[in-house]
Amino acid sequence: MRNAAQVSYASGPATTELLGQTIGEMLDAAVAAHPDREALVECARGRRWTFAQLREQVDRLALGLLTLGIQKGDRVGIWAPNCAEWVFTQYATARIGAILVNVNPAYRTSEVEYVIRQSGMRLMVSATSFRTTDYAGMLAEIGFDDVVFIGTPQWGDLLERGRTGDPAALDECAATLTFDQAINIQYTSGTTGFPKGATLSHHNILNNGYFVGEGLGYTEQDRVCVPVPLYHCFGMVMGVLGGHSHGSCVVLPAPVFDAEQTLEAVHRERCTSLYGVPTMFIAELAHPRFDEFDLTSLRTGVMAGSPCPVEVMERVIERMHMPEVAICYGMTETSPVSTMTSRNDDVQARTQTIGTVMPFVEVKVIDGEGLVVRRGVPGEFCTRGYSVMLGYWDDPERTAEAIDAGRWMHTGDIATMDADGRLNIVGRTKDMILRGGENIYPREIEEFLYRHPDVGDVQVIGVPDERYGEEIMAWIVMRPGAEPLTVAAIREYSTGRLAHFKIPRYVHIVDGFPMTVTGKVRKVEMREMARDILGG
């Protein structure tokens, strides 16, 4: 019989209880506790709201939606870059039990048409345009006219209708809501086929945001800078709900990520917490005006979305004054966070692991037969608990492929668990490179190459090879002023320090990587591009 401490299973202990509230009830509690404290700042237009003022805007919008005939369970889309109206819509739909459908701001006509149809959307709240994206034009092209455009007379009319509405109607709605009801659909960026609509409840996302805030030690004194997209869990759950459930202020520095505007927001708003994916932090650290900004108000934050190189973490801690910055691991289907590092962890733990299991969550690492492996042995990472989605919207078949009979969510990530219960993601089942019978995990090579003094950033992929099945290709962003590295230079640097079969055969110098809106590197797209680059 195996000792329980030797198997790759852990459950998250808790020092506080799960919140048994709807999102609307959480907002009411925050208003009761902190009515005059600042709740939301939109830097781009210099707008700000206290908790009491935030709820006033939310209630007006919620009543306005009711006058349009929106009811509990109806799907309401939100298609816009980060703005205060996004947050108002998030809360207003939750207030009346409508299901908010997050639409990726990068979507084009065919994609938004699919989401509208697949979700059965009743109404879209949308920006008219942003930069070169014509949201109104695309909606007109597909013939969807149940739209309220932010910042237009339509929007003002909707709020005016809400202002004259009966507040008792909101109380009547609240009386019919339970925290286990679906409240949000987020479409995962499908690498094959159509995207899937992860359906999340009040209980899923409110508690996940709350426990991320607990892990970061949030109080009403904190000011959380959120440059990540609100349409993704990172922004709307870990940012908005994580902050507001603790009475913290949420600061939106810009409609989309901009390194200078983010640094400016931290400086001017005296933010104590900053979110981002590693590429965002790298861009902030490399900004030519970095030293002009006072970042000493920072103490914590979240880095998530992809592994963080050791040097980047060290520079964030030292130069950005973030000794308590945490690494979080998760996915949309788990609301999103399953594991998180501690504020007291050393740099190694925050760069070589994804921390330990979150409160009230279970995790395990399994082999191909579904059996839990011993600690230290790689296998598929699975998670279970309050955070696992209700399912994919109107798609029981793909739900059953992701969530097994025991309600375990199968992530598709390959992980190991150490003796202390810390987990490390060593690759994606789809990203693992199989070269001549050797299983190679790109992250190990990326970490090694990132230590080269001329490498600014690096991503490693597998490309087809007649002899070995797959070969290794490194895409490298050079540091400013550095000469492009050659294959020979990488081989010389790696020989004797990296196993010979892990040394990249191909090197491709780039200015950047294809990215999702949430800042994740699109390795599927890189592999497709590599075929053209290599002529295969």
Query: Can you tell me the distance from the alpha carbon of 60 to that of 164, in angstroms, rounded to the nearest whole number?
Result: 8
Q: What are the tens digits of pLDDT across the range 131-141?
A: 999 999 999 99
Cα dist. 145→81, 95, 135 in Å?
20, 24, 12
Total Cβ atoms within 10 A of residue 195:
18
Q: What are the tens digits of pLDDT across the range 458-502?
A: 999 999 888 778 899 999 999 999 999 999 999 999 988 887 888
Contact indicator for 5, 75 with CB cutoff of 8 Å? no
Contact indicator for 365, 379 with CB cutoff of 8 Å? yes
Q: What are the tens digits of pLDDT across the range 55-98?
A: 999 999 999 999 999 999 999 999 999 999 999 999 999 999 99
- How confident is the model at residue 4, as a pLDDT? 67
Task: Specify the DSSP class assigned to residue 290.
Answer: G
- How confident is the model at residue 282, as a pLDDT? 87
- How confident is the model at residue 1, as a pLDDT? 47
Contact indicator for 364, 378 with CB cutoff of 8 Å? no
Domains within the chain, CATH numbers bracketed: 23-417 (3.40.50.12780), 431-534 (3.30.300.30)
- How confident is the model at residue 296, as a pLDDT? 98
Please give the residue that has the higher pLDDT: either 501 or 181.
Answer: 181
Residue 516: band (very low, low, confident or very high) from pLDDT cuts 50, 70, 90: confident
Q: What are the tens digits of pLDDT across the range 303-349?
A: 987 778 788 899 999 999 999 999 999 999 999 999 999 988 999 89
pLDDT at 367 over 70: yes
- How confident is the model at residue 192, as a pLDDT? 46
